[in-house]
Chains A and B, each alone.
Chain A
Amino acid sequence: RKEVEQDPGPFNVPEGATVAFNCTYSNSASQSFFWYRQDCRKEPKLLMSVYSSGNEDGRFTAQLNRASQYISLLIRDSKLSDSATYLCVVNMRGNEKLTFGTGTRLTIIP
């Protein structure tokens, strides 16, 4: 089983719709969670960290479910500029490295 698993998509969603991605992680010792965004032929950039109580940043909401070992990202009122690949990223307690999922590709359709 992969350490971090994501549905690769692609998700093709009309502009203005709400879209949600899930990501599962295999190691229960994981302690830090992030969503990164990677535009086509560009570098990954941090979108948001994911906190235990869930957190929101504008149209983006991240949730963590430790019992089921998954994190989610919800995008409301999607914009054309949201088209990108969304990478789920996990760090294990006591481990300095980040483990990246393979990403979920999102395309917002006008």
Chain B
Amino acid sequence: DTAVSQTPKYLVTQMGNDKSIKCEQNLGHDTMYWYKQDSKKFLKIMFSYNNKELIINETVPNRFSPKSPDKAHLNLHINSLELGDSAVYFCASSQALTGQETQYFGPGTRLLVL
């Protein structure tokens, strides 16, 4: 009965590869997010979707492409992986997109690019 789940939990890959991370929430929330937490533990928003519509795109390189097939799922595809993409990627969801709602985070996907 995990609220926000992500797969895979760990991802080790070579530079230049393409990879995807999947996220699902069973909370019935309208809004989902992708965050990146770098080696200095700084957590920064990348994207947010509300009812499958892209709302926030925080100047992320276009190698990163989110996709929301329905409001319970938000996947992240990364093309041509670079060393600097190594980080922990967290998916989150909230009831609404007001910025005042509690955000529930998934367990994170630890990406290491070699």
Mostly helix, strand, loop or mixed at chain B's interface? Answer: loop
A96 contact set on B, CB distance < 8 A: 48, 55-56, 97-99
Query: Which interface residue of A32, A49, A92, A100 has the most chain B CB atoms within 10 A?
Result: A100
- A32-B99, A44-B90, A96-B97 in contact; A85/B41 too (CB < 8 A)? yes
Tier of interface size on chain A: 20 to 34
Chain B residues at the A interface, C-beta cutoff of 8 Å: 40-45, 48, 55-56, 58, 90, 97-100, 102-103, 105-108
Instruction: Check B56–A102 contact: CB distance below 8 A.
Output: no
Which residues of A line the B interface, CB within 8 A? 31-32, 38, 42-46, 49, 85, 87, 91-92, 95-98, 100, 102-103
Q: A43-B107, A96-B56 are in contact. Are A103 and B41 (CB under 8 A)?
A: yes
Contacts of A49 in B (CB 8 A): 102
The answer to whether B56 touches A44, judged by C-beta atoms less than 8 angstroms apart, is no
**Closest chain A CB from B111 CB (angstroms):** 14
A102 and B99 within 8 A (CB)? no
Closest beta carbon of chain B to A101's beta carbon, Å? 9
Q: Flag if A98 contacts B99 (CB, 8 Å).
A: yes
**Cβ contact within 8 Å between B103 and A46:** yes
Known: A45-B105, A96-B48. A32 touches B100 (CB 8 A): yes
